[in-house]
Amino acid sequence: MNLITSLYILISCQVAIWLILICIPSTTILSETNSQDVSALLTLKQMWKNVPPSWNRGNDSCGGQWEGITCRDSRIISITLSSMGLIGILPGDIQGLSELETLRDLSYNKGLSGNLPPEIGNLAKLTTLILAGCNFNGELPDTIGSLSKLVFLSLNSNDFSGTIPQTIGKLSELYWLDLAANKLTGNIPISPGLDMLVHAKLFHFGGNQLSGAIPPQLFNENMNLLHLLLDNNQLSGTIPTTLSLVRTLEVIRFDWNSLIGSVPLSINTLIVLKTLLLSNNKLAGVMPDLTGMNLLSYLDMSNNSFEVSDVPSWVTALPSLTTLMMEQSQIQGIIPSSFFGLPQLQKVTTVSLITLQGQPITISNSYGSESSSEAKSKSSGVRKVLAIIGGSIAGVIALISSYFAAESLISCYNDRSCNNFCNNCCSWNFGNRNTQKDEDDERQDKWILEFIRQRPRR
């Protein structure tokens, strides 16, 4: 056998073997998922119970189209598993998902608990971290400040404790910050801290145990905040005048704290503000003048220690007002009838009106200032009711003549049985039904009478 023949036979055999190999069905499928991501995700799978059934289709999360997993070029970029009943912890191995952009969302999996691992700070491309409504606990790691591309951070409604890390101030791209309804303590961090987050739109910190004063340095003219929620904490000190520098604010909630001093007079420069809740503090001094706040729709300054004063004239100059709550706010004197002509106030289904404690109330109307009994005698044929309740329940149900009043009246003073009756019937429309109108028209012409009790302080 010559050399040429030998080479021919060798090449023929190799070709034959190659043809056999490509014709035999393969039992191995090459993974479409990066091996590093596969390892990290399998660790999550081992740590969690109640994972989606699709997670049991082999180990290839991208090629196997695992539920809640989004891939790009064989890399996992998103995990979205909200309300799946997951049980377990978030292991530090999650740092292996180095291309992860969105850990969104693991919210409302009450079985997810344990600490937020410090390794999460290694997810350099993460833009969204939403773990709301789970059962995570422990302190927030300082490494969270390493997530330089983070835009959304929502860790609300967990059991996180300890202080708010100052490193959060490094998150220069942050738009949404929600740490509400946890057990966070300590002061509001600044310099560096939250004052550095000039692009943020929402600061939600309500329902924690934050203490100390609201630092004046927290606010500056470069901020773009829309929501500032610090309610239900243990904050003390005064409301800083620098608050008025943030002209973009639409919602402010400082209620249920221990704030003292006067409300800054400059607060009325926040002309795009829609909601202002200052109730249940220890605020004192003169009630602020809110003239010019034409978009303000919800105002609650109840249960403070303001100086005794007449009904503020600016009340009638708030065209967008739908809800006004001023229980235990030391207001007395004449309530202008023009207040009850505010168009938006008429459209509120459940009306909460001014509550006064032990003060003589008179009504200003076309008959002049009169007692409620005098107004009642002159109010026949008018169809709307105003309830002004003082003390724990005692008070006056006054009638507005001409434009407002009632076809029939139920008065509750100190009579216990009457109080119980009102409790059971507060959702009823007091007054005789007008059979000439359909139900929709009647709803426009009559208020549902709402009896307001003094709300207990914590």
Residue 339: the pLDDT is: 67
Q: Is the peptide bond before 189 cis (omega within 30 degrees of 0)?
A: no
Which pair of tokens denotes residue 153?
């951070």
Residue 349: the pLDDT is: 27
CA distance 60 to 112: 24
Task: Kindly report whether the global pTM for this prediction surpasses the value 0.75.
Answer: no
* Residue 130 phi, psi (nearest 5): -125, 110
Residue 201: the pLDDT is: 96
Residue 61: the pLDDT is: 86
Residue 190: the pLDDT is: 94
Q: What is the DSSP letter of 386?
A: E
Phi-psi sector, 26: left (phi>0), alpha (psi -120 to 50), beta:
beta
Q: With a cut of 50, which residues of the chain have pLDDT below it?
A: 3-30, 346-458
Residue 64: the pLDDT is: 72
Q: What is the DSSP letter of 367?
A: T
CA distance 456 to 271: 32
Q: Is the peptide bond before 440 cis (omega within 30 degrees of 0)?
A: no
* β 202-204/309-310 pair status: unpaired
Domains delineated in the chain: 35-339 (3.80.10.10)
3-state secondary structure of 243: helix
Residue 332: the pLDDT is: 72
CA distance 288 to 265: 6
User: Mind listing the pLDDT tens digit for each residue in 391-435?
Assistant: 222 223 332 322 233 323 333 322 333 333 333 333 222 333 333
* Residue 76 phi, psi (nearest 5): -75, 125
Which pair of tokens denotes residue 91?
């292991």
- Render 83-136 in DSSP notation, one character per residue: TS--EEE--GGGGG-TT--EE---TT-TEEEE---GGGGG-TT--EEE-TTSEE
> What are residue 301's DSSP bridge partners?
none
Residue 317: the pLDDT is: 87
Residue 340: the pLDDT is: 64
